[in-house]
Structure 1
Amino acid sequence: MPFLSHKDVEHRSFDYIIIGGGTAGLALAGRLSEEPTISILVLEAGPANFDDPKISIPGFFGQVFGNPQYDWAFKSVKQKNTNDKVFVERRGKALGGTSTINRCCWSKPPKTDIDAFERLGNPGWTWNEFIKYSRKSETFYAPTQEQLDHYPLTYDLNNRGISGPIQTTLAPHTHTIDKIMQETLANKGVRPNEDPYDGDILGGWIATANIDPTGWKRSCSASAYLQPNLHRPNLNVLTNALVSRIVFSSELNENGDRTASAVEFLFGDDDRTCTVNVSREVLLSAGTINSPKVLELSGIGRSEVLSSIGVETLINLPGVGENVQEHLGNFISFELDESKGVVHETLDVLKDPKTAAKHLELYGEGKGLLRTSLSSLCFLSIQQCNLPDTPSFIALAEKEATEVKAKGILGLSEQVDIWLEHLKDKNEPDFEIVAIARYMTPMSIPPDPSKSYFTLLALMNHPLSRGTIHAQSKDPRVQPLIDPRFFEREIDLEVILQEIKYIRTWKDVEPWKSGVVREVDPGPKYQSDDELREYIRNDTRTQYHTIGSCSMLPRDKQGVVDPQLKVYGTTNVRVVDISIMPLHVAAHLQTSAYAIGEKAADIIKATLA
């Protein structure tokens, strides 16, 4: 078996050490292990959690949030623009990373969002490359005839992978809210998107899920890229290993670059410090929150940050922990009409122990609610909403873009130009609406538990605000200081405001008009723009889609890695996770993580020739 103890790896040498066995890290490990001549060690801070029903059963998503066996539960500093709220950032702490605890939504960014990476100075990072590697990661299963009889699900097999490790399909349980939402959108003039996996995501559609229909289990990087390859003798895994730093040799090469020689980590409950040597490369896949921390504890980053925690600066790289971007969203809950005998089977019924037990039994038979995931989605531009204050919204965007560029932050001006260009284009998505088949608004409880409710998530995709993530202690057990600076730029809040106002225009459109009784939260007490802004500040939620802390940009524009994902100033350290994404995208991010892992593996394999 490839699972080792710290005694098995201490002072040994491996060709490649992967720091972090998460979504991208295990995709990378699985692909590299296809080369039998190289040895690979994965260091994962969490446990294995293999075949755990809290992970494998899709309908259980959210149940492990806050449980330290599964969730890092990082906390931000108080955010002044959200009335000093502290945000909890859910991240998977186990083999498989956040792919073990997400909502199984398999969505891909628009073509222009990915092509922007190349425009920012990264040759080869284009949509064509992305879709090649995304397809390589996926095996898609078409919906059954039973599903098609129930709902007209559409897809294009030309856009889907047919032989990749991650198993995907359309979730088998289609809620009545799918019909209400998608038909209302169509009647509002929104185009039904028959397959949003070709780079065009505008319109209303039903999302694919990373669920394996042969057993209706979650398909994650641990189950897809690691477990099938455990027989390979060159693939080694050590869990419960918290990396404290990358160790560099004292010699510099002719360009003044440093070479990593080892990785130090804390192991087990007694936090014993161990060292493992590396002969080829260190591949950092600890995620957007932990990857910059590991670099800083290793002496790579802003010199003022490093000196503040007592770490010697080996490589002055000011972009580490900067350019942080996150999706924010607000929940809006509704009561469903059941007066005409329509039964809305929402996930709230699982709160009843007897009903939950019934559905667990049904799940064992390949039936029931627990096979579900996020389903109905809609991506729109502001211009498509035809709201009366759209011109003033665009004027505010132009004003704020000018203000941000005037600050002269290295590398940000080009990002802002692309951001504004996309915002003003009616064919580029500015926001996302997600239907969730349960009551989700945190400000209240369901007024009448005997009735059925559902929630829309109004989600902002392309933030102008930028935050930071930095180590705040030399002790690797101390979480980094996370300051996303939410709503630092007013336009981010205004996107969500426009989105809520657009959703409220649905009330006079069928089948929404006859299928929805009322809006519960924010409800009638929030009517004016200022009232809604206060609602947004108080109840906005992070979507756990943080990127940018190790941005792939030119070094003189606060870049951390080059287009080969190599950390500037090093000869053999790469970052392979979504922290390298320099500009945010309109998508849930696991597909991007897998594509990055797949592409990185090919980049590295090319060096072996």
Structure 2
Amino acid sequence: MQTADFIIVGAGSAGSVLAERLSASGRFSVLVLEAGGSDRRFYVQMPLGYGKTFFDPAVNWNFKAEPDPGLAGNSDHWPRGKILGGSSSINAMVWVRGAREDYDDWRDAGNPGWGYDDVLPAFKALEDNEAGPNAWRGRGGPLHVSDMRGKVHPLTRLYLEAGRQAGLPLNEDFNGRSQEGVGVYQLTTRDGRRMSAARAFLRPAMKRGNVRVETGAHVTRVLFEGRRAVGVEYEKGGRTLQARAGREVILSGGAVCSPKLLELSGVGDPAILKQHGIAVVHANANVGEHLQDHLGINYTWKARQKTLNQVLRPWWGKALVGMQYLFARSGPLSMSLNQGGGFFRTDASRPRPNVQLYFQVFSTVLPKPGERPILSPDPWPGFSIGLSNCRPASRGAIHVRSADPNDAPRIVPNAFSTNSDVAEMLDAVKYLRKLASMPALAPVIAEEVLPGPSVRSDEDLVADFRRRSGTVYHPVSTCRMGPDAATSVVDPRLKVHGLEGLRVIDASVFPSNVSGNTNAAAIMTGWKGAEIVLEDQG
């Protein structure tokens, strides 16, 4: 049986940071258990290669949500990283922290130490931002953030001008003073390779003698003595093994796997646990509840000028960009699907932006089975503008399907289950057409392909976004943080209410979702969480 001071379950965005920070002094031993395998794969390291990992069971849990009435009965695909680096190894690499108000909301919900002024030092400390340090950006940290403003496709410049013509300011840094406006996204890449949490944090930690990382280690339950977590049980290579924690067990499985593991371990709603024959160790009906996620949709146009479709679709184009990437680590393969983006308010009376924009210089209307068709775009020139809601009111849940650890959990998003979410999305999709009608973009548009000019009435627009919308892969809050065990799972120190020696540190603890991509906030949570753990160790 292995022993370590700290056992970290999951080598993802937060878990990788925890492993590095908790082991840095040499004072503590750390065991990291990861169900997936190595991140040293070509399509993981190549930034645009995430189209190949979107359905790949070798690196992806490939979860599937339940049929959702809010999405016209569709069962949404939920990719989550099953690999060193977790979802930071298969995501779109956009580095958006969220708005100041998001974190102040966390603090005001009864979580001292989690306001914007509290988390900003953590963001700055972990960053190595190519754009240079200032009041908001950090330089010299482990995680390199690339400034892509000089590398985007010319059509992205037209999108930025269209945003300005529509009344949005040009925003040079969505992580700076304000989110509002249009601009070019910063990416977690370096020298043309993905800068995942594994590359930035876990790989350096693995060089230390006090860190052990086991891959292919699927943790099936937390072990308790009384109300104290003392270790974990896990499966590896067909064997059932145990590991003991001298100080703490830390769950970093993310918004899907952390609540699942708590329930498998007997921590959750007694009615759900008893339904599946799981003995109750500690009752907390909040486990797996309060699920929040961002929902997105693309509008697509056929263009009058060349887009990346004409480069990435033909064999000779693939060969060209492939050589460009292999020999110079540059070109389209070194970037993300989303080059431009932004944040806007669907109503001027709103105090802050409530919708995020994504600009993509190619189109994928014609899908390729078994693959997100990033590397096989449409045979005609096209581009898309997408959006997602920032703070939806709808709430879902994630719970175990059975007592078998190998069964995928039951994911119920409850998308668009509130009138306010439907009304907000209706206003948002109308804004996409406003952007496309601006003088900068209108001349390059040949026709609207999706949803098409026939979709005009409010009723038809709502039906369309219910049918075509889906997760943008930002689930949070299923083990949410709060001061009261009656409404939350962990306290502001990230300790599981009512238990000892057990914390959850990942995106599942977010009290509410952040405005924008969640990976930056998850990495910050790992950094801040490590600080809290070390403080509590004295």
TM-score when scaled to structure 2? 0.95
Residue of structure 1 in register with 2:271 after alignment: 304
Which stretches in structure 2 are left out of the alignment for 5+ residues? none
Structure 1 pair 348/273, CA: closer, same or farther in 2 (3 Å)? farther
In 2, distance between residues paired with 1:359 and 1:180?
Answer: 23
2:303 partner letter:
L
Of the three residues 320, 323, 344, the one matched with 2:290 is 323
Distance change (3 Å), C-alpha of 1:449 and 1:471? closer
Alignment partner, residue 168 of structure 1: 145
Aligned to 2:214: 238
Matches within 5 A, 1:295-444: 295-338=262-305, 344-346=306-308, 349-363=311-325, 364-373=327-336, 374-384=338-348, 426-441=350-365
- What is the CA-CA distance between 1:477 and the residue it aligns to? 0.6
User: Where does residue 585 of structure 1 map in the other structure?
Assistant: 514
| Cα distance in 2 for residues equivalent to 1:383 and 1:244 | 47
| Gaps in structure 1 of 5+ consecutive residues | 1-10, 143-154, 251-257, 339-343, 385-424
Query: 1:158 aligned to 135, 154, 157, which one?
Result: 135
User: Do 2:162 and 2:436's aligned partners in 1 also have CA atoms closer than 8 Å?
Assistant: no
Q: How far 1:443 sits from its partner (Å)?
A: 8.3
Aligned twin of 1:462: 391
Equivalent residue, structure 2, for 1:603: 532
- What is the Cα deviation at residue 223 of structure 1? 0.8
Q: Match for residue 248 of structure 2?
A: 281
Give the CA deviation at 1:186.
0.8
Quote the residue 1:263 is aligned against: 232
CA gap of 1:471–1:378, structure 2 versus 1, over 3 A, is same
Q: Would you say 1:39 and 2:29 are equivalent positions?
A: yes
Indicate which of 115, 119, 124 corresponds to 1:126.
115
Deviation at 1:180, TM superposition (A): 1.4
Q: Quick one: structure 1 residues 449 and 227, their matched pair in 2 at CA, closer, same or farther if it must change by over 3 Å?
A: closer
Kindly report which structure 2 residues correspond to 1:397-546, keeping only aligned pairs within 5 A, or say none. Answer: 426-441=350-365, 451-546=380-475
1:542-601 superposed Cα distances (whole Å, 9 cap, x missing partner) = 111000100002334420000000001111100010000011121101110111000011
Deviates more, 1:239-248 or 1:178-187: 178-187
1:173, distance to aligned residue in structure 2 (A): 3.0
Within 1, Cα distance between the matches of 2:495 and 2:355? 32
Instruction: Tell me how far apart the structure 2 counterparts of residues 507 and 283 of structure 1 sit (CA, whole Å).
Output: 47
Alignment partner, residue 58 of structure 1: 47
Amino acid at match of 1:366: R
1:24 aligns with 2:2: no
SS in 2 for 1:167: strand
Specify the alignment match of 2:172 in structure 1.
Answer: 194
Letter in 2 for 1:435: F
CA contact (8 A) 1:333 1:455 kept: yes
Contact 1:156 1:195 in 2 (8 A): no
- Tell me the residue number matched to 1:8: none
User: In 1, distance between residues paired with 2:202 and 2:72?
Assistant: 43
Query: Could you give the per-residue CA deviations for residues 430-468 of structure 1, whole angstroms, max 9, x where no partner exists?
Result: 11111012213468999x955311111121111111100
The answer (yes or no) to whether the contact 1:65–1:90 under 8 Å persists in 2 is yes
RMSD: 1.8
> How many Å separate the matches in 2 of 1:233 and 1:86?
45
CA distance in 1 between counterparts of 2:74 and 2:206 reads 43
Q: Which residue of 2 aligns with 1:204?
A: 182
The 3-state SS of whatever aligns with 2:359 is strand
Identity of aligned residues (%): 31
Q: Which residue of structure 1 aligns with residue 93 of structure 2?
A: 104
Paired with 1:14 and 1:219, the residues of 2 have a C-alpha distance of 28
Q: Residue 8 of structure 2 contacts residue 249 of structure 2 at CA under 8 Å; is this kept in 1? A: yes
Relative to structure 1, the CA distance from residue 37 to residue 500 in structure 2 (aligned partners, 3 Å threshold; closer, same or farther) is same
User: Displacement of 1:607 after TM fit?
Assistant: 2.3
After TM superposition, the structure 1 stretch with the greater mean CA deviation from structure 2, 551-560 or 522-531, is 551-560
Higher mean C-alpha deviation, range 425-434 or range 556-565: 425-434
Farther off after superposition, 583-592 or 560-569: 583-592
How much does 1:182 deviate? 0.8
For residue 412 of structure 1, what is the aligned residue in structure 2? none
Query: Take 1:370 and 1:539, find their aligned partners in 2: how far apart are those partners?
Result: 27
Contact preservation (8 Å) 1:173, 1:371: no
* Inter-partner Cα distance in structure 1 for 2:207 and 2:342: 42
State how far apart, in whole Å, the 2-side matches of 1:379 and 1:442 are: 28
1:457-500 deviation per Cα after TM superposition (whole angstroms, max 9, x unaligned): 12111111110000111111111111011111122122221111
Contact 2:309–2:382 (Cα < 8 Å) also in 1? no
Q: Structure 2: how far apart are the matches of 1:556 and 1:220?
A: 34
The whole-number CA distance in structure 2 between the counterparts of 1:495 and 1:229 is 44
> In the alignment, which residue of structure 2 is the partner of 1:400?
none
Mapped to 1, the partners of 2:62 and 2:331 lie a distance apart of 30
Residues 1:246 and 1:543: Cα distance change in structure 2 (over 3 Å): same
Q: Distance in 1 between matches of 2:204 and 2:485?
A: 42
Instruction: For 2:484 and 2:314, locate their aligned partners in 1 and report how far apart those are by CA, in whole Å.
Output: 55
Greater Cα offset, 188-197 or 537-546: 188-197
AA aligned opposite 1:93: K
C-alpha distance in 1, partners of 2:443/2:187? Answer: 29
Q: Distance in 1 between matches of 2:320 and 2:367?
A: 30
Bigger shift: 156-165 or 315-324?
A: 156-165
Q: Normalised by the size of structure 1, how large is the TM-score?
A: 0.84
Distance 2:437 2:198 in 1: 46
Moved more, 287-296 or 125-134: 125-134
> CA distance change for structure 1 residues 60 and 584 in 2, over 3 Å: closer, same or farther?
same
